[in-house]
Structure 1
């Protein structure tokens, strides 16, 4: 622990001086305690788990002919364009005018909830959402669209390739 050195210094003769006590503190116990605390906090800390959303993807050998037809009246298409904008329409491209919204609770989320209720009331079936990212959209846009699917509780949605006609819609409205 602590010890005092009370030796006279080894010189003989001369003036008699008072002995100076030099102290030496043993830090072994404090180091042991520090390592015990570090070990305790490492073992008891919960690390954050990565949050991932399960997305079902088709098998590589699955044929396109195996797809089930969906009525245009209950399919909503989301065209992910540039500048964090989303164009959406219900039905087929060109037959209904697409509208542009932002991501978030007052934009895309509100539209999905409203249209889902309308389709449920009119057809008795769930809305199917087709997410179509363009070359000008970024990864964050796709993740935001998938987050909105999770938040709104959409059961049926898919990420699909965008068609040339839909790219023309984006270009026409300045979102490409």
Structure 2
């Protein structure tokens, strides 16, 4: 570890003792500590949800607006204060009695999606539509995506809330 080397000098001075510290065991201890902490640390993979995006259209000038039958979809409107509303109506039929409210507790949203899927006339084209308002928060959006994953539905879309939906939504919130 440490070594004392005594040297005699002929000049009559006192002997000076040179001290040399061997750092090899300290380096070994450092590597042992690094290895210990590396093996005892939890290496976790970040939880990521794959967001399926549509493929890029080779012809950008072609506008492909597909209209989905309102009976073949369920629309969720994410509002303020963790409120979520849903409907299966078109612009002419939507009113305050059709726009129903639910919450994120339990598996209520997954059940709503499953029931709408069972009642869909064309289940292979069934789509879940998420429409967050300006007052909605990011956590609710992620919770909604999680509920879609729980319901095992792969067709979903995120879009802006339409003016006719905003009108009915505002009536319910006030």
Verify same fold: TM over 0.5: yes
1:42 aligns with 2:38: yes
Moved over 6 A (4+): none
1:24-173 to structure 2, matched below 5 A, reads: 29=25, 32-33=28-29, 35-42=31-38, 45-58=41-54, 59=56, 62=60, 65-96=63-94, 97-119=98-120, 122-173=121-172
Greater Cα radius of gyration, structure 1 or 2: 1
Q: Deviations over 1:16-59 (max 9, x none)?
A: xxxxxxxxxx9974773353132243167452222222223354
Aligned residues, how many?
153
- Select between 124-133 and 30-39 the one with higher mean Cα deviation: 30-39
* Structure 2: runs of 5 or more not aligned: 4-21
Measure, in 2, the Cα distance between the counterparts of 1:167 and 1:101: 17
1:13 corresponds to: none
Measure, in 2, the Cα distance between the counterparts of 1:62 and 1:73: 30
Measure, in 2, the Cα distance between the counterparts of 1:105 and 1:62: 42
Deviation (angstroms), 1:127:
2.1
Alignment root-mean-square deviation, CA: 3.1
Measure, in 2, the Cα distance between the counterparts of 1:80 and 1:64: 31
* Structure 1: runs of 5 or more not aligned: 4-25
Measure, in 2, the Cα distance between the counterparts of 1:102 and 1:47: 34
Evaluate the alpha carbon distance shift between residue 141 and residue 32 of structure 1 in structure 2; reply closer, same or farther with a 3 A threshold: same
- Contact kept, 8 Å, 1:130 with 1:157, in 2: the verdict is yes
SS of match in other structure, 1:125: helix
Deviation (angstroms), 1:69:
3.0
